[in-house]
A and B are shown apart, each in its own frame.
Chain A
Amino acid sequence: MVPPSEYPDLSQHLVVAAILFCLGLVGFLARRNMILAFLNAELMIQGVALNFVAFARYRGNLEGQSFVLFLLTVAACEAAIAMALILVLYKSRATLDISIWQDLREDNLDPVVDTEPLPLPAAQPPLPPLPTAGLGPQPPEELSRV
């Protein structure tokens, strides 16, 4: 059997899986939207699942694929419960921002304070001018007279 580092399928898939995992990690650490944090966790799961399937093909058996089936099940459960929790948290504070919950942090950590002002929302385009109201439309004259 070809050693893993020489088997082109395997090494490329492992690298792609590592990229997916690390991008998910960056998103999970940096994004402040709770839903996006969970989407990034799902991205990390995708990377891991790709690893399993690639190794299943390399080893020539189905154990990796079986594992990914169970992984899909657990991911679905996790998404359902996470969405329910996020819904409850949103009802309580009316924002999806994780940092609103930072009073749960450890005693010795400083709170995060946002100093930069948010960008203003993009200005709406002006409404099109309407003709002066007050005059009713003239009814068209009947064309056929008896």
Chain B
Amino acid sequence: MPPLGLPVLFAEGWVKNPLTLLPLAAALAAAFGLFLLLPSPKKRPRVLGYLIVLGALFAFVGSMARSTSLSIELILQQVFSAAAILGAVFLVTQTNPARAALAFTLVVLGTSGLYLTLGAPFLAAANVIVYAGAIIVTFLFVLMLAQQDAPSDSSSRSRDPFMASLTGGLLLFVIAHTVTGDSARLPVTARQSNPAPVMPARLTEEVAGRLDATGRLAIPAENTAFLGADIYRHFLVGVEVAGVLLVVATVAAIVIAQRKIPAVAGSEVK
């Protein structure tokens, strides 16, 4: 396995094949578009920013994609991915916090759809119920308590938008290059690279669900029962700890929110 570092990332192929620079260019373009879109007192072209960000992100996904045969599953996957990315861009760039919260709902619906295509219907439902149903409502509730109509410091300004978006773009390129680059950089599979596993293999049909011809979980997955069995067989202590955590968080939230803190002079809530 070659050492992973900047020389390896950059020296390898792009002199011979400049097309390998396309993902880097797309990530940097997306970062620039985000910089245009992040809220600022200065007027910046918003439509142009949206065009740059969305075009660059979709070009990024496209430049990483492997050619596959067209299928309904693939189309659904593209649609849900596009919805998630679109919602995420709106979430980051909206000035109005309530609209940002609604954009997050779009992200949740997109990822839930992706869970469905990945054979995880229980998680898709849980994701919609917990996130879109509970967490977003909590966020919106607090937003309504702290409603501000006029442009304010909190929602019309950004902190160092250029450096933030540059960081995000570079991190995106490095992560994607690492996970989809040459297969030498990832251990091929745990099974092949680790022929004698310490844990007993329990990827059998009775635990994981019906497998299709290629050895992966079949779609549609009947996985709710299997997921329950897996959790209560192998992660029972984790379930108990999660229950304790929920109780502690409930009590803590009530105690913290009821606390009386004297307001700083001149900044009383109206």
Q: Which residues of A contact B (CB under 8 A)?
A: 1-6, 8-9, 11-16, 18-27, 29-36, 38-40, 42-43, 46, 49-50, 53-54, 56-63, 65-66, 68-70, 72-81, 83-88, 90-100, 112, 114, 116-121
Contacts and interface: CB of A to CB of B under 8 A. Distances in A.
Contacts of A99: 153, 159
Contact of B77 (A9, A14, A26): A9
Of the four ranges (under 10, 10 to 19, 20 to 34, 35 or more), the interface on chain B belongs to 35 or more
Contact of A95 (B151, B152, B182, B215): B152
A69 B126 contact: yes
A97 B153 contact: yes
Contacts of B101: 35, 39
Nearest to B254: A84
Contacts of A97: 152-154
Given A11-B66, A60-B217, A63-B230, 19 more contacts: A2-B214, A13-B118, A16-B114, A18-B172, A22-B168, A23-B85, A25-B171, A26-B165, A30-B38, A35-B142, A43-B88, A57-B120, A65-B123, A69-B231, A73-B246, A74-B245, A76-B249, A91-B263, A91-B269
B91 A27 contact: yes
B179 A79 contact: no
| A interface, over-half SS | helix
A76 B130 contact: yes
A49 B146 CA distance: 30
